[in-house]
Structure formats: structure tokens, C-alpha cells
Amino acid sequence: MNIILLGPPGSGKGTQAQKLQRDRGMVQLSTGDMLRATVASGSALGQRAKAVMDAGEYMPDDVMIGIIAERIAQPDCAKGFTLDGFPRTVVQAEGLDRMMAQKSLTLDTVIEFKVDESALVERISGRYTCAGCGAGYHDKFQCPAKPGICDICGGTEFKRRTDDRAETVQARLDKYNEQTAPILPYYAAKGILRAVDGMADIDEVYRQIVKILG
Ligand code: ADP
Ligand code: ZN
């Protein structure tokens, strides 16, 4: 099963994609994480990606589609994948459709995370991840069982994204509303759009997703 999680930054897409990966083997394709890994590698593409991301811009569509196409050709994605953070514009959605059609892959479901924008600043400014395995946590909403120790890998180092500051959240939300929200009717017209209550707690959101996916 191949799905997309769609919602504003901080709505819980990454959190749920990680759960789907652990429970169902669906590969999480977080384009933000993929890009940040490319930047960290220091390659030519990484340097270009860094300049674009530092300016708060999106990477060119063909670059993003190329990165995703390469990743979904790998054998682990045959079990299915969850796109988290892509597409962000209708043009990207159309490009993704074309690329998947070429590979004879089907997009089964798009899940919209419905959230109150007022909740997102607190979610984004409190989030952090394990430096070892990338597991996501939150200062208030998702603490490791043992403080300071990753539940998944036992790691003790954690990191925060530099763009996860309260000051930048509004600009990211505005961009979501202008450019990404218009994708919703695109998928609704295809009959594959479903929604979950992103304001519910993490386990409840997951139950809603599992119910949709069957
Ligand atoms: P996105 O991938 O949509 O940007 P994340 O999954 O990173 O969002 O979630 C943002 C932060 O909010 C994370 O720290 C996460 O632990 C926390 N979070 C995710 N889902 C919920 C939820 N349903 N209730 C409370 N906090 C949540
Ligand atoms: Zn870890």
C-alpha cells in the first residue's frame, strides 16, 4: 500500500509515518529528512539543496521527483511506502502521479491531518529526534519512557531542527495554506482522500489511520 500523509508542519505526519514503518513495514519517505541527509553528505547536490533550504525555498520539482523515484525503486519499498512532506504543490502532485504511473505503482490513499493552527507552534517548538536512529519525540507530548534514552535504539544524543523555532512557524504555515492545501481537492477528485483528527492524541490518530487503511 502506497500512501501520502498531508497536513501542515507539526500536524503529526512524521510521528505516524514512523509508527506505520515499525508496525507494518511501510517505508517512511520523509523528503525533508532525505534532503537534510543529502545536505549533510556535502555532495554537489547537497550544497545546492542547502542553499535552497536556507533561503526557505522548495527544491526544484524534478530534483525532488528524481530523489523519490530513486528511493522507491529499492526493494524495501515493495511492501509499500508512506510519503511524508511531499507533494507540497499541485504541480508536484501531478509530477508524482506521472512518475508512479511510469513505474506502474498505485497511490492508494491520501490522509489529511486536520489540526488547529494554534496547536502547531507548541508542537513544532517542542519536537526533537534521536541523533542515532531519527525517532521523533516531544518535550511534552512524546517523552522517551526513560528520560534521556531513546526508546528505539538506546541512544542518548538528541537533536533539534534549526528551522523549528516559533518565529518561523507562521511563515511555514502560510506557505502550507497557499501552496499545499490546494492539493486536497486534487486528491478528493480522484476519490482517494481521507481525513483524521490530528488534534487527538498520538495513539488515537494512529487508530484512525489503521481503520482507514484496513
Ligand atoms: P510533521 O511531520 O507533520 O511536521 P511531527 O510528526 O514531527 O509533525 O509532529 C510534531 C511534534 O508534535 C512532534 O514532536 C511530535 O512528537 C508531536 N506530535 C505528533 N503528533 C501529535 C499528537 N497527535 N498530539 C500531540 N503531539 C503530537
Ligand atoms: Zn534512537
Mean pLDDT, 10 residues at a time, over the chain (214 residues)? 97 97 96 86 87 85 90 92 96 97 97 95 95 96 97 97 87 94 97 98 98 96
Q: Which residues have any ligand 1 atom within 6 Å of their CB?
A: 7, 9-15, 84, 123-124, 126-127, 136-138, 141-142, 200-202, 205
> Which ranges of the chain would DSSP assign to H, the alpha helix?
13-24, 31-41, 44-54, 61-72, 90-102, 120-125, 166-175, 183-190, 202-213
Based on the residue annotation, tell me whether 79 is a catalytic residue of this protein: no
Contact 74, 22 (CB under 8 A): no
Length of the chain measured in residues = 214
Most informative mutation of 6, 30, 36, 141 for ligand 1 (most atoms within 8 A of CB): 141
Question: How do beta strands 81-84 and 2-6 pair?
Answer: parallel
Ligand 1 atom with least separation from CA of 205: 23
In the Cβ-directed half-sphere of 73, how many Cα atoms lie within 13 Å? 9
pLDDT for 35? 87
Residue whose CA is at the smallest distance from ligand 1 atom 25: 141
Based on the residue annotation, tell me whether 24 is a catalytic residue of this protein: no
Residues 6+ apart with CB under 8 A from 203: none
Most informative mutation of 127, 165, 175 for ligand 1 (most atoms within 8 A of CB): 127
Say how many Å lie between the first and final Cα of the chain, rounded: 10
Ligand 1 atom with least separation from CA of 200: 23
Q: If you measure from the C-alpha of residue 44 to the centroid of ligand 1, how many angstroms do you get, rounded to a whole number?
A: 32
Q: Which one, of 88, 89, 58, 53, lies nearest residue 163 by Cα?
A: 53
pLDDT for 166? 84
**Tell me, what DSSP letter sits at residue 178?**
I
pLDDT for 145? 97
Return d(Cα 196, Cα 79) in angstroms, integer.
Answer: 23
Based on the residue annotation, tell me whether 146 is a catalytic residue of this protein: no
Residues facing 108 on adjacent strands: none
Q: What is the pTM of this model?
A: 0.92
Radius of gyration of the chain (CA): 17
Distances (CA, A) of 106 to 7, 78, 86, 97, 100: 21, 12, 16, 9, 7
The rounded Cα 162 to chain-centroid distance in angstroms is: 17
Based on the residue annotation, tell me whether 207 is a catalytic residue of this protein: no
Q: Which of 50, 161, 175, 194 is catalytic?
A: 161
Q: If you measure from the C-alpha of residue 123 to the centroid of ligand 1, how many angstroms do you get, rounded to a whole number?
A: 6
C-alpha cell at 213: 487503511
pLDDT for 113? 98
